[in-house]
Amino acid sequence: MKNPLKNFFLLFLVSLGFATSSPAQQKPTPTLKPPALYSFWGTTKGGDLPLEFVLGVIDSAVWVMDDKKVRYRISRFMMVYKSKDKFEDEKTGELKTRFNTNAANVKNSGYLPAVWQKSLYENIKKDDELIITDIIVRNKRGSYFAAPDVTIRIK
């Protein structure tokens, strides 16, 4: 007849061996690698553009896609408008230039508000700059990603 205590002790040692070896065999947790994203405003990625072209994209959407041509939903973005304005220095009387900056935050939409579209259409001129920055997009699984900026200089 076999000793039950001896069998229990052997079973305990074998199970202890499996328990101590399993953490070493665990796979590392997967990390989320952000996709390569490309940002657009209308049909442009930005750059030095003529005024007539920029007037045509003011009412267009900001959109983002990845290298597999999958479009992402816009969660938010910021439009920064830097207008180059001239003013007369009161002390010297000479004509100088400066940049005036205005910004708008847009959430859950790819379009600028109608007030901003109208204001840009009426006021934008040569040497101004438009920057679409802080673009945050969301994929189908609900993960958020930062997309690259779109910078447009009016020529």
**What confidence tier does 32 reach under pLDDT thresholds 50, 70, 90?**
low
Q: What is residue 9's predicted lDDT score, i.e. its pLDDT? A: 66
What radius of gyration, in Å, describes the C-alpha atoms of the chain?
A: 29
- State the alpha helices, DSSP H only, in the chain: 4-25, 51-57, 114-123
Given a cut of 80, whether residue 70 has pLDDT beyond it is yes
Number of H helices, E strands in the chain: 3, 8
User: Could you give the residue ranges of the DSSP H alpha helices within 26-113?
Assistant: 51-57
The angle formed by the CA atoms of residues 113, 74 and 120, to the nearest 5 degrees, is 30
Burial letters 103-117, b for 16+ CB under 10 A, else e: eeebeeebebeeebe
**Predicted confidence (pLDDT) at residue 4 exceeds the cutoff of 80:** no
How much is the pLDDT for 110? 95
pTM here is: 0.75
Does pLDDT of 41 surpass 60?
Answer: yes
Residue 34 has pLDDT above 90, yes or no: no
Mean of pLDDT over the chain: 88
How far is Cα 111 from Cα 101, in angstroms, rounded to an integer? 20
Instruction: Give the SS3 label for residue 54.
Output: helix
Per-residue pLDDT tens for 107-132? Answer: 999 999 999 999 999 999 999 999 99
Token pair of 11, please?
């079973």
The region of weakest confidence among 2-11, 12-21, 90-99, 134-143 is: 12-21
Mean pLDDT of 13-40: 70
- Residue 33 DSSP one-character state: P
In this predicted structure, the answer to whether residue 14 has a pLDDT above a threshold of 90 is no
Instruction: Give the chain's end-to-end CA distance (angstroms, integer).
Output: 98
Tokens of 43: 């049909």
DSSP 143: -
